[in-house]
A and B are shown apart, each in its own frame.
Chain A
Amino acid sequence: MMLAAVLLFLALVLPGLPLGQWRAFALDTAQFAFLISGLALAWDLLARTGQLSLAHGAFFGLGAYAAALSAPALGTVPALLVGGAVAALSSLLLGLATLRLQGMYFAIATLAFSEVMRTLVLKAQFTGGSIGLPVQPAFGGAYPLGGYYLAVAVLVICTLASLLLSRSRLHYAMAATRQGEAVARVLGVPVVRVKLVTFMISAFLAGLAGGVYAMKTLFLSPYDAFGLGRAVEALVIPIFGGLYTTTGPLLGGLIIVSLETWLRLRIGEGYLVVYGVVLVLTILFLPKGLMSLFARRKGARHA
C-alpha cells in the first residue's frame, strides 16, 4: 500500500528529474512499463475469481484498435473510454459463453478468443489489415508529455480499482469463488455474476491501457497488438510480483519491464534466456512472488 503510493508518486515526478541524455529513453520505457503493469493489475483482478485468462492480450489489442479508430472523431479521452468499453463488451460476450468453464478449459477458450480476434482484425478492411494502422498521438501531439501522463493515469486507475476491490465485499466474493464455488453459493454469493462483473472491469482496464499504448507507438499491427506474448506477460507479472495483491503486479510489472529493456540493451536477443532464468528462480524460491518477501517480515513481527 505504502509502496504503491511511493511508486505512483515517482511516476508523477519522473519527467521533472534530471535524467540527462537518457531522459527520452527513460520516459519511454517508464510509459511502457506503466501500461504493462496496468494490464497485469487488470489480469490479476480476474485471477482473484480463480479464472486464468489468456485473452488479456486481445482486450489490450481491442482497446488499442478501438481507441485508434475513434480518436480522430471523438478526441483522445473519449476514444480511450471507447477502447475500454469495446474490450468490456467483448469480455461480456466471451464471459457469457465461457465463464461456466473452469481452470484450464476457460484458459483454452480465452486463447481461442484472442486468436479469433487477431484474425478478424487481420482480415478486416477498416483496421488496415496486415499493413497496419497509423495512429495519431495523444491530444493531436499538443502536449509532449500527454501520452506519458495518460499512462500514469491508467496505472493510477488500475491501482485504485485493485485496492478498492480488495477492500469491498466483492473481495470476499472473489476469494470465495476462487477457493470453492459450492461453498460460495451456499453463502449467498452470486458466483456467475461476480465472475462476469470482475471480467468486465478487468477487460475494461486492459482496453484502456491498450488505447494509451496505441497513442504511444503511433502504429498498430495485428501481430503486435494481439500477440500472445502480451497475454503471457499479463499473467507472468502477477505471478512474479504476487498474485491477488495490488503491490505485487505493480512492483512486478515495473521490475520485469525495466529488466527486460535493460537486458535487451545489453545482450540483444539473448535477453529471453536471462529473463526465463529469473522467472524460474522466482517461482522456485518465492512461490508467492515478490510479495512473500514482505509477508515474511510481517509474519516475523507477529511471532
Chain B
Amino acid sequence: MKLTVTDLTAGYGKAQVLFGLGLEVAEGELVALLGANGAGKTTALRTISGLLKPWSGSVALDGQSLLGVSAARRARLGLGHVPEGRQLFSLMSVEENLLLGAAFLAWPSKSDQLERIYALFPRLAERRGQMAGTLSGGEQQMLAIGRALMGKPRILMVDEPSLGLSPKLAEEVLSTLSQVKKEGVGVLLVEQNVALSLEVADRGYVVEHGRVVLQGSTQELASNEGVQKAYLAL
C-alpha cells in the first residue's frame, strides 16, 4: 500500500497552513516529516487522516483518491493516526484503550493483536489493568501507538511521539517505530526532534511554511548544510 499526497492546501478558517504539500509513504518504510513549530506538520496529518477538509490537492491510497472519504472509513482502509498529545481515554484501563483500537478495525483478531502489542511494548503488558491516566508520559505514548496498531494499519502516521519525553524515553519510543516498520507497516513520523528522527528514518521531508522544501535519504538530509544549521545546531 502506498500513500500519496499531492499539492495539498488546507487551513483553519481564513488562515492557510498548507501551501501545496506533497509526500509519499510506502509500506515497510519509515519516513520523517521534519520542521519547526508551525510549519504545518500536524495540519498535514489531520488532513491526510480526514479530520480536516483539504482546500485543494489530493490524498490517495494506492492511487485511489480519498476525497470525500470519512476519517472512520480511511482508518478502515488501513490508514492509522496517532494524534498529537496522545489523546488517551484516561479513565479506561490500558487494555480497554487497546481494545478500543481494534473495536471497529480488527475486532475478530483482537486477542492476537493484544499479544502482538504486548510483545512490542512489554511495559504495557505489566500495566494492562491500570488506568491509562496513571501511566508515565513514555508509557502513555507507547499506549497511544499501540492503540493505533491494534487496528492493523498498513500506513501509520505518528504525531510528535517524543513530545515531553526524556531523551532516553524518546529514543526508546522511536526505536519501537523502526520495529513497527520491520513488520511491514509504513510509518510517517512527524517530529521536531530532527536529530533523533534522522537516526531511525529511511528518508525524510523538511517542511517550511506549509510546503516541502527539501527531501531525500536521511544521510543526504543530515549532511545538508541548511538542515544542519536550522535543525541540528551544528
Q: Does A191 contact B (CB under 8 A)?
A: yes
CB pair B81–A186 under 8 Å, yes or no, is yes
Total residues of chain B contacting the partner, CB 8 A: 28
B87 touching A182, Cβ below 8 Å? yes
| A189 closest partner in B (C-beta) | B104
Which one of B95-103, B167-175, B204-212, B224-232 contacts A?
Answer: B95-103
A residues in contact with B75, CB < 8 Å: 185-188
| Known A169-B103, A172-B96, A172-B103: A185·B72 in contact at CB below 8 Å | yes
A122 within 8 A of B: no
Contacting pair B103 A186 (CB below 8 A): no
Contact partner of A190 among B70, B91, B99, CB < 8 A? B70
Contact A179 B89 (CB under 8 A): yes
Known interface pairs A172-B103, A175-B92; A188-B87 also in contact (CB < 8 Å): no
- Does B51 lie at the interface of the complex (its beta carbon under 8 Å from any beta carbon of A)? yes
Interface residues of A in 175-213 (CB under 8 A from B): 175-176, 179-180, 182-183, 185-191
**Complexed CA–CA distance, A176 and B148 (Å):** 13
Task: List chain B positions with a Cβ less than 8 A from chain A.
Answer: 49-51, 70-72, 74-76, 80-81, 83, 87, 89, 91-92, 96, 99-101, 103-105, 107, 129, 147-148, 151
10 interchain pairs (CB within 8 A)?
A172-B100, A175-B96, A176-B103, A179-B91, A180-B89, A186-B49, A186-B71, A186-B72, A186-B80, A188-B103
Is A187 in contact with B148, judged by CB distance below 8 angstroms?
yes
Please state if B72 and A191 are interface contacts (CB–CB under 8 Å): yes
Q: A180-B89, A187-B151 are in contact. Are A172 and B99 (CB under 8 A)?
A: yes
A190 and B104 form a contact (CB under 8 A): yes
Bound Cα distance A175, B91 (Å):
10
Instruction: Indicate if the CB atoms of B51 and A182 lie closer than 8 Å.
Output: yes
- Closest Cβ of chain B to A171, distance in Å, is 8
Q: Does A86 contact B (CB under 8 A)?
A: no
A71: interface (CB < 8 Å): no
Q: How long is the Cα–Cα vector from A195 to B127 in the complex, in angstroms?
A: 31
Residue among B99, B103, B151 with the highest chain A CB neighbour number at 10 A: B103
Q: A172-B100, A176-B89 are in contact. Are A187 and B105 (CB under 8 A)?
A: yes
Chain A interface: which size bin? 10 to 19
A185-B89 contact in complex given A169-B103, A176-B100, C-beta closer than 8 Å: no
Given contacts A182-B87, A187-B151, contact A169 B107 (CB under 8 A): yes
Contacts A185-B51, A186-B80, A187-B105 aside, 6 further interface pairs with beta carbons under 8 A come to A169-B103, A172-B103, A175-B92, A186-B50, A186-B75, A186-B148
Within 8 Å of chain B (Cβ to Cβ): is A88?
A: no
Residues of A within 8 A of B96 (CB): 172, 175
Q: What is the bound-complex CA distance between A129 and B92, given in angstroms? A: 48
> With A and B bound together, what is the CA distance between A173 and B100 in angstroms?
7
Q: Which residues of B contact A183 (CB under 8 A)?
A: 83, 87
A182 to B50, CA, bound (A): 10
Q: Determine which of A172, A175, A189 lies in contact with B72 in the assembled complex, contact meaning CB atoms within 8 Å.
A: A189
B103 — which chain A residues lie within 8 A by C-beta? 169, 172-173, 176, 187-189
Give bound CA distance, A59 to B147, whole Å: 37
A189 to B76, CA, bound (A): 9
Q: Which residue of B is nearest A183, CB measured?
A: B87
